[in-house]
């Protein structure tokens, strides 16, 4: 800190800011009889902050952008949700004050808070909620408005019982519906905005939500400036504040160069830099900056193994892969202690996640023994062969995760020691999608980074049931997995479902279908020490609704 201040002590601009802030503070103190004793307890009103982000995504059509890692930040301030899901996946009331469900988990009744309005003046009532549920489920595809992919496909219809009561019907048991309402795409938009054609919806300033901030101005690919809504009084109780936000404005500014984002915060030109490199974090922390590395609810970072491709059709080879990776070394070498060891294939903060660490322990002897048993013998060059073929693994580094390639390189070394020949390929986003993500029949392991709403949906993603993604290319070959999937989907209560989820996690890891690397931190925040009180939700987005500036 001392070094930093001396470096910039000559800055005229900084001096000016300091004096003007002091003058403004003085003015407030005299005008309102400001009591310094209260200052510690009551966050100060006012202040403008700048958030530097690496992209502002593709489109602002709410359905198409609400699940984006970039627009999610803005939607989180401009819109509200029916329920609140915190960083531990705990669901609590928000605009839905309470809810009921039938025994089969096929019908849900939501009771809405009264007096909530969208920023265009229209009320947030039952019919507005029905309009939102309908478009989340169906979209308007011919116009290019997508359905929200995470929304339950089992949705049948919703009806407004009265102005503040909504009843939602499903074709099959849908335990995940309630958590879905607090997540990602489920942002409430004014019915007037929903009725607009896609080209109008794509104009951020023409979309109204009921959130604590409204869009003041924006420019595509440049910035979005949000200003506080003074009549806001329906924040989620879970964050400990329900009135208007404290900060006057939040400006999201696009700066694509990572070092510039961090340097701007260091030189006091901005308040938050998003997505800094993990290597910089320690020194930034030492300089006094707040570093946040919240985890989101979802899958850990790891590989989904293609069980159709030899030699990964052999369970012993997959198990050797599971045991041959030293996960602690990944954290020690590539990351910082802020990153956590994977304990399952889903993140440990997901409700229903269980600790399967025993299956993920680093055990090179065990791995070598498994490979010996599978008939892969070590040659003179240290590479194992069987029937004249080398034991090879081609990894495609995930272009969405900056650190992916460094982790790949480390794993290549680790596996190399037990006789694997590992090749690393790095593609750009478009090529990666084309060759690995959507058509990769020859890809032995696809690197996953995904968040999800509810652990119950996991089982059907892993298999091919109901348009499922069939991650391990098992099709219908694994009766155990399919059985678990059906029982999880049909479960009507969490008490019934949780043991099944535990069984699923154990089975998938024990079979070596999924090879976890680390728990994923996809959002890294470097924040000025004068900004305090922000909250991270279940998708690891920072909300500055509760944040304030300290002097």
β-bridge partners, 49: 250
Which positions from 451 through 470 interact with other proteins, judged by CB under 8 A?
461, 467, 469
Check residue 255 for interaction with other proteins (CB under 8 A): yes
In this chain, which of 28, 160, 260, 426 binds other proteins, going by CB under 8 A?
A: 260
Question: Given the complex with other proteins, which of 221 and 358 has the nearer CB atom?
Answer: 221
Which runs of E-coded beta strand occur in 233-276?
A: 249-254, 272-274
d(CA 49, CA 247): 8
DSSP string, 24-43: HHHHHHHHHT--HHHHTTSP
Rounded to a whole number of angstroms, the CA Rg of the chain reads: 25
**Residue 537 beta carbon to other proteins: minimum distance, rounded to whole angstroms:** 18
In this chain, which of 1, 5, 11, 423 binds other proteins, going by CB under 8 A?
A: 11
d(CA 92, CA 242): 14
Question: Given the complex with other proteins, which of 11 and 493 has the nearer CB atom?
Answer: 11
Question: Given the complex with other proteins, which of 71 and 319 has the nearer CB atom?
Answer: 71
Check residue 321 for interaction with other proteins (CB under 8 A): no
**Residue 451 beta carbon to other proteins: minimum distance, rounded to whole angstroms:** 9
**Residue 474 beta carbon to other proteins: minimum distance, rounded to whole angstroms:** 16
Question: Given the complex with other proteins, which of 267 and 336 has the nearer CB atom?
Answer: 267
Question: Given the complex with other proteins, which of 213 and 432 has the nearer CB atom?
Answer: 432
Check residue 64 for interaction with other proteins (CB under 8 A): yes
Question: Given the complex with other proteins, which of 197 and 240 has the nearer CB atom?
Answer: 197
Question: Given the complex with other proteins, which of 51 and 232 has the nearer CB atom?
Answer: 51
Check residue 198 for interaction with other proteins (CB under 8 A): yes
SS (H, E, C) 43-63: CCCCCEEEEEECCCCCCCCHH
**Residue 497 beta carbon to other proteins: minimum distance, rounded to whole angstroms:** 21
Which positions from 290 through 319 interact with other proteins, judged by CB under 8 A?
none
Residue 547 CA: distances (Å) to CA of 44, 47, 316, 532: 9, 10, 51, 5
In this chain, which of 7, 22, 27, 442 binds other proteins, going by CB under 8 A?
A: 7
**Residue 473 beta carbon to other proteins: minimum distance, rounded to whole angstroms:** 14
**Residue 396 beta carbon to other proteins: minimum distance, rounded to whole angstroms:** 15
Check residue 530 for interaction with other proteins (CB under 8 A): no
Which positions from 25 through 54 interact with other proteins, judged by CB under 8 A?
50, 52
Question: Given the complex with other proteins, which of 67 and 547 has the nearer CB atom?
Answer: 67
Check residue 205 for interaction with other proteins (CB under 8 A): no
- Please count the residues of this chain forming the interface with other proteins, following the rule CB under 8 A: 58
Can you tell me which residue has the tokens 């899958």?
299
Check residue 203 for interaction with other proteins (CB under 8 A): yes
d(CA 498, CA 508): 15
Task: State the helix-helix crossing angle for 364-373 and 315-323, rounded to 10 degrees.
Answer: 160
The total of other beta-carbon atoms located within 10 Å of residue 315's CB is 15
Decide: 525 and 542 in contact? Cβ < 8 Å.
yes
Nearest CA to 458 out of 340, 297, 294 is that of 297
d(CA 322, CA 327): 10
What's 510's DSSP letter? Answer: H
Residue 46 CA: distances (Å) to CA of 186, 233, 247, 343: 29, 17, 5, 42
Check residue 475 for interaction with other proteins (CB under 8 A): no
Letters for 421-450 (x = contact with other proteins by CB under 8 A, - = none) are -------xxxx-xx--xx-----------x
Question: Given the complex with other proteins, which of 364 and 433 has the nearer CB atom?
Answer: 433
In this chain, which of 219, 230, 233, 389 binds other proteins, going by CB under 8 A?
A: 219
- Residue-wise over 236-263: b if at least 16 C-beta within 10 A, else e? bebbebeebbbbebbbbbbbeebeebbe
The total of other beta-carbon atoms located within 10 Å of residue 25's CB is 13
Check residue 332 for interaction with other proteins (CB under 8 A): no
What's 391's DSSP letter? Answer: -
Check residue 201 for interaction with other proteins (CB under 8 A): yes
Check residue 142 for interaction with other proteins (CB under 8 A): yes
d(CA 433, CA 451): 18
**Residue 78 beta carbon to other proteins: minimum distance, rounded to whole angstroms:** 17
Question: Given the complex with other proteins, which of 269 and 480 has the nearer CB atom?
Answer: 269
d(CA 446, CA 306): 8
Question: Given the complex with other proteins, which of 43 and 147 has the nearer CB atom?
Answer: 147
Question: Under DSSP, is residue 249 helix (H, G, I), strand (E, B) or coil?
Answer: strand
Cβ-proximal residues to 431 (8 Å cutoff; 6+ apart), any chain: none
Check residue 232 for interaction with other proteins (CB under 8 A): no
In this chain, which of 42, 102, 269, 480 binds other proteins, going by CB under 8 A?
A: 269
Check residue 220 for interaction with other proteins (CB under 8 A): yes
- Residue-wise over 178-212: b if at least 16 C-beta within 10 A, else e? bbbbbbbbbbbbbbbbbebebeebbebeebbbbbb
SS (H, E, C) 194-206: HHCCHHHHCCHHH
**Residue 530 beta carbon to other proteins: minimum distance, rounded to whole angstroms:** 16
Check residue 356 for interaction with other proteins (CB under 8 A): no
The total of other beta-carbon atoms located within 10 Å of residue 532's CB is 14
Question: Given the complex with other proteins, which of 256 and 277 has the nearer CB atom?
Answer: 256
Is residue 397 packed enough to be buried (19+ CB in 10 Å), middle (13-18) or exposed (0-12)? buried
Nearest CA to 282 out of 293, 270, 272 is that of 293
Question: Given the complex with other proteins, which of 38 and 430 has the nearer CB atom?
Answer: 430
Which positions from 149 through 168 interact with other proteins, judged by CB under 8 A?
149-150, 153
Which positions from 85 through 124 interact with other proteins, judged by CB under 8 A?
none
Q: Which residues bind other proteins (CB under 8 A)?
A: 7-8, 11-14, 50, 52, 58-61, 64, 67, 141-144, 146-147, 149-150, 153, 198-199, 201-203, 219-223, 251, 253-257, 260, 263-264, 266-267, 269-270, 428-431, 433-434, 437-438, 450, 461, 467, 469
């Amino acid at each position: 800190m001392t070094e930093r201040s001396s470096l910039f002590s000559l800055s005229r601009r900084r001096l000016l800011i300091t004096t003007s802030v002091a003058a403004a503070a003085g003015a407030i103190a005299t005008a309102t009889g400001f009591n310094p004793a209260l200052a510690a307890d009551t966050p100060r009103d006012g202040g403008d902050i700048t958030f530097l982000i690496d992209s502002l995504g593709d489109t602002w059509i709410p359905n198409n952008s609400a699940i984006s890692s970039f627009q999610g930040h803005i939607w989180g301030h401009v819109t509200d949700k029916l329920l609140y899901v915190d960083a531990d996946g705990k669901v609590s009331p928000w605009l839905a004050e309470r809810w009921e469900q039938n025994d089969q988990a096929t019908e849900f009744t939501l009771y809405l808070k009264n007096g909530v309005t969208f920023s265009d003046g229209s009320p947030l009532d039952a019919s507005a909620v029905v309009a939102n549920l309908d478009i989340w489920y169906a979209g308007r595809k011919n116009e290019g408005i997508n359905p929200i992919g995470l929304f339950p496909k089992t949705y049948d219809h919703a009806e407004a019982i009265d102005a503040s009561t909504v009843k939602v019907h499903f074709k099959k048991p849908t335990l995940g519906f309630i958590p879905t309402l607090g997540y990602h795409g489920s942002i409430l938009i004014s019915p007037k905005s929903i009725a607009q054609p896609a080209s109008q919806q794509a104009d951020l300033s023409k979309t109204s939500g009921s959130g604590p901030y409204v869009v003041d101005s924006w420019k595509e690919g440049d910035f979005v400036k949000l200003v506080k809504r003074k009549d806001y009084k329906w924040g989620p109780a879970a964050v400990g504040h329900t009135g208007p936000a404290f900060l006057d404005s939040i400006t999201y500014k696009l700066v694509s160069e990572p070092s510039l984002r961090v340097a701007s915060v260091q030189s006091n030109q901005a308040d938050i830099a998003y997505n800094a490199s993990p290597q910089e974090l320690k020194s930034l922390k030492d300089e006094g900056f707040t570093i946040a590395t919240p985890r989101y609810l979802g899958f850990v970072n790891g590989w989904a193994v293609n069980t159709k491709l030899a030699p990964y059709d052999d369970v012993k080879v997959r198990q050797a892969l599971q045991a041959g990776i030293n996960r602690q070394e990944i954290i020690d070498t590539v990351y910082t202690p802020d990153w956590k060891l994977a304990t399952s294939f889903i993140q440990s903060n997901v409700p229903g996640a269980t600790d399967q660490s025993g299956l993920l322990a680093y055990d090179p002897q065990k791995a070598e023994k498994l490979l010996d048993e599978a008939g892969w013998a070590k040659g003179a060059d240290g590479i194992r062969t069987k029937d004249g073929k080398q034991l090879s693994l081609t990894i495609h580094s995930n272009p969405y995760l900056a650190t992916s390639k460094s982790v790949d390189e480390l794993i290549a070394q680790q596996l190399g020691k037990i006789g694997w020949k590992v090749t690393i390929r790095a593609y750009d986003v478009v090529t990666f999608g084309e060759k690995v993500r959507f058509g990769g029949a020859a890809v032995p392991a696809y690197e996953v980074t995904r968040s999800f709403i509810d652990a119950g949906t996991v089982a059907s993603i892993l298999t091919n049931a109901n348009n499922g993604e069939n991650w391990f290319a098992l099709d219908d070959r694994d009766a155990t997995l399919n059985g678990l999937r059906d029982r999880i989907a049909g479960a009507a209560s969490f008490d019934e479902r949780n043991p099944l989820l535990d069984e699923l996690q154990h089975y998938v890891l024990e079979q070596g279908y999924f090879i976890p690397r680390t728990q994923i931190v996809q959002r890294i925040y470097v924040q000025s020490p004068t900004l305090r009180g922000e909250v991270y939700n279940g998708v690891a987005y920072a909300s500055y609704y509760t944040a304030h500036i300290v002097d």
